[in-house]
Structure 1
Amino acid sequence: MLRWVIFIVVYLAVAFYTLQALKTVTKHQWVYYTFVAVTLLIIGNFIYQFTIGEEGRVLSRPKSYAFGFLVAILAFMTINLILLFSEDIFRFLSAIYYRISGKHTEFTIPSRRRFLSMVALGVAALPFSALLYGMYRGKYNFKVLKYNLEFDDLPNGFDGYQITQISDIHSGSFDNEEKISYAIDLINEQKSDVLFFTGDMVNNKAEEMKPWATLFSKLNAKDGKFSILGNHDYGDYVDWDTEEEKSQNLIELKKLQKEIGFDLLLNESRYLEKSGDKLALIGVENWGRGGFKKAGDLQKAKSNIDKNDFKILLSHDPSHWEDQVIGDDYHYHLTLSGHTHGMQFGIEIPGWIKWSPVKWRYKYWAGVYEEMGQYINVNRGFGFLGYPGRVGIWPEITVITLKKKSLT
């Protein structure tokens, strides 16, 4: 209860600063009343959703939107606070100077400058607008990212072999069938040889995927569709009544994956064959650093393949690659992961900048990386979770073409 009181007091204090900026810029009282009404509505809804709303540690759709609007308004108000508080310090120091120097007979703080308030509101409007756009359009702004990866020892039959990877569907967050249908068509338009899904089909429960199963069953790939589990697929973030109920949920999810047409790899392997050559496909259950589920068993998963095979590993969390895969005595040519979502927020300009706060948590957080002659692609995610949108880090469909490295 105390933390809610502290949070509300801080929130209202930050809102007060923004209100002062509005009063400096305009004399229209309806602007003040609108701002007050919006800020109170947002904090009221947030408190309701996280106290009386649905239980569980993972954000439901109503909770997500309550969180999203709170983040947007806090970004707006915090930037105003930083800029205006800086001005207040200057105003206070100026008042002291004028009093000590004798220029003023009384201690008088100069008035807030209208221009600086306008600048503060204008700067604050940029992230506020971006966050609202991310909730409205950004979360379905699907991008196809294509990579060519060359290998000395790629079997000849797989030269030019094309892979499509998707990850982190998080079907419980979807709210637009038309946009998801468009994304499914976009995946199929790539006409890849094989399709890999690298975990997190749902947020909490298998039932979240049921309304979308028919749509996802339309996914096509000549050599099959393969999948693994992510940390959200186990139902660990739900307060189940019994362990049996939790176990049944995972059984239902595995059944759904099969109905959709995925070959779910649970610490096991398969061989893909092309023109008389073969490629080893290994899929591990989730293994994540920092408190995430560690059901992945790489030793078990690789037990039926040869050390000299060309290998593709499906592993949901890129920390697994960093902590266990790179140093393994088997050489995993390509690992496909997801999990990070690129934090759904950042700045990416190809060839110029690639940044997201998630880089402070994960060394390998988006795109292709190479270490010790082994590659990993960390997919930015198909869906979204928590904040119900994306800003700068768009939902991704990865297309990777395997190439035989030329000897010349």
Structure 2
Amino acid sequence: FLMGRFRMSLRLLAAFSAWLIFAALDSRDAAAQGQGRTSTLEASVVNSYLSTSGAISDLTSKFLRDNANQAASSSKNGSALNTLGGGADLAASGSADAAARPGYRFWMEGYGLNSRTGAQGTFTGDERKTFGGIAGVGISLPSGWSAGVSIDQGQTKIDVTGLPQSSRIDLTQFGGNIAYETGPWTFTTAAIHGFGDVKASRTDTGGLISANYDVKLWGAIGEVSYYWSSGSATAAWRVVPKVGIDWTRVEIDPFTESGGAIPIIATGQNTERVRGYAGAEVGYSWLVNNTIFDIAGYARVVDIFSQDVDSVLASAANGAALPRLVPGVIDDRFEFDAGASTSVKLSDALRLYAIYDGRWREGFRSHAGTIGFEYRW
């Protein structure tokens, strides 16, 4: 009997000891979570990383459009097929013979861009400012074929809305374009490739946190346009409807932060999208004392046919917090683009131009300005 009572007492003591141990562990875990050591990472820690993907995708689309425009600009109808002040070359030559000769062209331009992205889920939004320059050369052949190559060097500064996060993107893009013109029809295609470096920073309770990672991009575009004009050799209107499709892919490397209280390790992110668009340009050019002036406006509607944006897995580099899977930022399906341009052709060789481009979609707006010159020989 005494032995049985003794064994029961041991069981009760063991159970009570186990309860004390588990209670102590629960208390310790609760205290640790209160101090942020085992809580899950905040999704917002990768907001600047998510902004990078969107910014580069938009810059890739912009450079694709530039290449498609420049391909059409090398054709015998000149820049009548894009927003760089078209129609002036046809009016300047005054003859089909001038348009039939092989020719070369060099262009250089500088641009500035400002855009804002609205909040989406745990992503708080951002503001982006880009400055850069483009240089290229092109050739036009009597057979109706034309081609060109160009390079774009730009720098983008991103500030995340409502958070102490920012990043700087140094991006280099190379492009090539080909166009074929037959009667009023022009068929254009272009492809680009680029790479860049991103320097990102944010602050937490431990101070400044920084990261550095690389990006790569690819893109292609195809466009068909129809040129209609009415007027004389000294003044003419034009209407140029066009449809096209483009594809872009952006690959962002994984990174590891340094500094601060909870630096993170983030997985790479790939973004791929296919878009279609349709629109038209309306322009007018006129001759005054051997100087040709041109104004133009355009509008188009863009539809995203498919969009694939990877989620990002963020983990604490020092194990101070639990990892979190953060979804990427998705662009709204429909976008409206519009712009205007003006140009002055000072001689058969030299033309100056200025362009405004605007883009709007749900939760996004962008304004860009470009000035440049073109030299032909």
Normalising by structure 2, what TM-score? 0.29
Bigger relative contact order (CA 8 A; separation at least 6):
1
More strand by share: 2
Structure with greater helix percent: 1
Larger CA Rg, structure 1 vs 2: 2
TM-score normalised to the size of structure 1? 0.27
